[in-house]
Homo-oligomer: A and B are copies of this chain.
Amino acid sequence: MKTTDKRNSIMQSALEVIAERGFHDAPIAKIAERAGVAAGTIYRYFENKDMLIIILNRELEEKINERLRKNYPVEQPLRERFTYMIRELLRYFVANPLHFRYMEQYYNSPYGISRRKERLSDESGKRDIARDLFKEGIEQQVLKDLPSLVLAAFTFGPLLSLLRDHIVGFIRLDESLIGRIAEACWDSIKK
């Protein structure tokens, strides 16, 4: 097994154990066991448990960003780009429920609090699809005249609740429902 495989195997195991059992009840020993590795080995690949957790989150965020940018309909009107983003996001997490549960935990933990602040004051050149959409929409007067943070809350807030409900089995996010949800999101922020 190549060392990069072993590293991946550790990350995959951490993803599974933490997503399934929560940050509590995800001891290094358990992560090592599922990865088929001894506890000490993890420390050859990650500085410590915190770093493993943080890096894993970064990687998941990266995957999602890639997915959103792929086939992003740059040419379409705002409304289509917006609903496309929502539909893709929902599809991604429906296909990768563990990713959702991991990130949900991450952002509801001390790790996530700082990550959130970081993200808000992100003045790096890194484009953020959602941020651009809101800005454009406000300028064009097609969106409600609310702070973009508020628009973001109306866009993503419901999605979190819905994905949770889907993953525990209370609702089924099929293509039809996903479509209607995207429309409802748009309704809540359009002027």
Chain A residues in contact with chain B, CB under 8 A?
A: 22, 24, 104-105, 108-110, 113, 116-117, 120, 144, 146-147, 149-150, 152-154, 156-162, 165, 168, 170-171, 177, 180-181, 184-185, 187-189
Q: Are A165 and B188 in contact (CB under 8 A)?
A: no
Identical copies in the complex: 2
Instruction: Assess A150 versus B181: contact at CB under 8 Å? Given A110-B24, A157-B161, A160-B157.
Output: yes
Expressed in whole angstroms, the Cα–Cα distance for A5 and B22 within the complex equals 35
Q: At the interface, is chain A mostly helix, strand, loop or mixed? A: helix
Expressed in whole angstroms, the Cα–Cα distance for A158 and B14 within the complex equals 30
Chain B residue numbers with a CB within 8 Å of A177 are 146, 150
